[in-house]
Amino acid sequence: MPADLVLLSARLLDPATGDLLPHTALAAHDGRITHLGDDRETRALAGPATTVIDLKGAVVCPGFVDGHLHPVSGAERTAGVDLSGCTDLPAVREALAREARALAPGAWLRGWGLDPNVFGAAPVTAAALGDVLDGIPAALDLFDAHSMLASARALELAGIDGPRRFEQAAEIVCDADGRPTGLLLEDAACALVEAVAPQPTAAEVRERTAAVLRAMAAAGLTGGHAMDANGGSLAVYEALEAEGDLPLRFRVAPWCQPGADADTLRELIRLQGTGGRRWRVAGVKMFMDGTIDNGTAWLERPDCHGESTHAFWPDPQEYTRVLAALHRAGVPTATHAIGDAAVRHVLDSVEEALAQGGTGIRHRVEHIETVPDDTVHRFARLGVVASMQPTHCCEFTRADHTDNWSRRLGEERASRAWRCRDLWQAGARVVLGSDWPIAPYPPLAVMAGARHRRPSRDLSQPPHGIEQALTPLQALKAVTVNAAWAAGEEHEAGRLAVGRRADLTVLADDPLTVPDTDLAELPVLLTVVGGRPTHRDRSL
């Protein structure tokens, strides 16, 4: 059969070795790579309906995969005003005032990406924003997506007038007189405001998600490990694929929250393997703690505010029992664990589960922001994937430790920030991701951050922990070879070889030789999923 796609005059890059393959052309049919060879013999495989592209010396890589992102919930969350570029309170107030002027009377103001560092050493409160939100119902997501700043009017509409107790780790932050400050920590508290705020329609969510996915494809992403199979996300993936609007391949993990009963676990197990051509349910997402910035992480010693002392699961041993039950059913888990105590407990739980058998199941820990030496070395021994987002270190912390994250941890623990290199050298499988919408999704920016560890808005700033930087080849492996291994697809994806999926990212130059601080701007010329272009630059 003629090929569906033929790529000519290419440099084919093997991320396992960093070498260029001894071929200049590639052919694909029925979603798979069917031929690697020279231009003349490969061109002969084309038929009348074949897409033939002369790459003019561009570099072909296996498709880039984001190891941790939230496509659907992120599309919903980023529908308001983008505050992620605001570096001080005046900039936040100006952005909110501009948005407020465009609102219809009584309409809600939504915002996202608010960095707590703009408040300096002062508390994060709605009052610090001045009178810009007076009388306006507003809900502003902080960058970590684990907290919200609600205006006085939003609190009033939600009936929030003081502290409350929650079954899960959550808090309505109040002042000394018991009055809410506007800061809501974790989902259970934020949900009180979400319940009275206008919600997008299903059609609006699909439209917004489709637009985001097209932009992700243009950035070079061919797939992602999606951590948002909660709510109606699965229906969105199904609808987008039916409409021909799913340009990425997704491995989707539904959530398992504290309080999950036997019926919930049975349903999570039943969902495994369901999906469509480009998406499927694989694994379960859990949370062991919150975030350091909010004081909701789980640390072995309290932070400098006396906070971050508790697990997200009220009974951590219940988490251990749930993980063991999923492990026995052959279901891999991906657990959000930021603090050292949280990471340690996840590893302890995996070790207990492994002692009962089933060694082929690939569990993961997500984030791993600060851990001591003895924890680092357990990942390889237990076969646990280290899923990390180095751009969080780049964008939200500082080399001099004057940022909120570092001040909370103190010098000793802040110096152990995002130990990507140590985990790699200890033999762990490190997978890189963005955690979008927490940080930008372009994979070249993620790899660049792992290499230079500097804030993208000012690359002249010193790096935070340059000794933890990955090499160019390690960063490339982390979004190709290691991402495939974490998904149990090491024989299907991650490298350029006959029989593997034709998921490809084509770049204007070799990402291994482009300087670290230039990598994020390297042009993406072509993105291919299953042998079909999902993005094609005008130059081709």
Could you report the per-residue pLDDT of 352-363, keeping only the tens digit for each? 999 998 888 999
Least Cα distance to 256 among 285, 233, 277 occurs for 285
Could you report the per-residue pLDDT of 200-223, keeping only the tens digit for each? 999 999 999 999 999 999 999 999
Give pLDDT, residue 229.
72
d(Cα 143, Cα 30) in Å, to the nearest integer?
41
Interval 325-336 mean pLDDT: 98
The rounded radius of gyration (Å) of the Cα atoms in the chain is: 23
What six digits make up the tokens of 387? Answer: 């899923």
- In which band, very low, low, confident or very high, does the pLDDT at 400 lie, cut at 50, 70 and 90? very high
Least Cα distance to 507 among 2, 3, 4, 12 occurs for 12
pTM: 0.95
Measured from the Cβ of residue 314, the count of other Cβ atoms closer than 10 Å reads 14
- In which band, very low, low, confident or very high, does the pLDDT at 155 lie, cut at 50, 70 and 90? very high
- Taking a C-beta distance cutoff of 8 angstroms, is the pair 52, 40 a contact? no
Mean pLDDT of the chain: 96
Percent of the chain, pLDDT > 90? Answer: 96
- Taking a C-beta distance cutoff of 8 angstroms, is the pair 154, 138 a contact? yes
Phi, psi (deg, nearest 5) at residue 505:
-125, 125
CA torsion angle 12 18 21 26 (round to 10): -30
All domains in the chain, ordered by first residue: 80-195 (3.10.310.70), 283-470 (3.20.20.140)
For residue 232, pLDDT over 90 is answered with no
Q: Which residues contact 65 (CB under 8 A, 6 or more apart)?
A: 221, 222, 223, 224, 225, 443, 479, 480, 483, 484, 487, 493
Give pLDDT, residue 20.
98
Give pLDDT, residue 228.
84
Q: Calculate helix-pair angle for 316-328, 262-271, nearest 10 degrees.
A: 40
Q: Which residues contact 273 (CB under 8 A, 6 or more apart)?
A: 280, 281, 282
Which pairing describes strands 81-82 and 109-114: parallel, antiparallel, or unpaired? parallel
Interval 337-347 mean pLDDT: 98
d(Cα 347, Cα 247) in Å, to the nearest integer?
35
Could you report the per-residue pLDDT of 473-520, keeping only the tens digit for each? 999 999 999 999 999 999 999 999 999 999 999 999 999 999 999 999
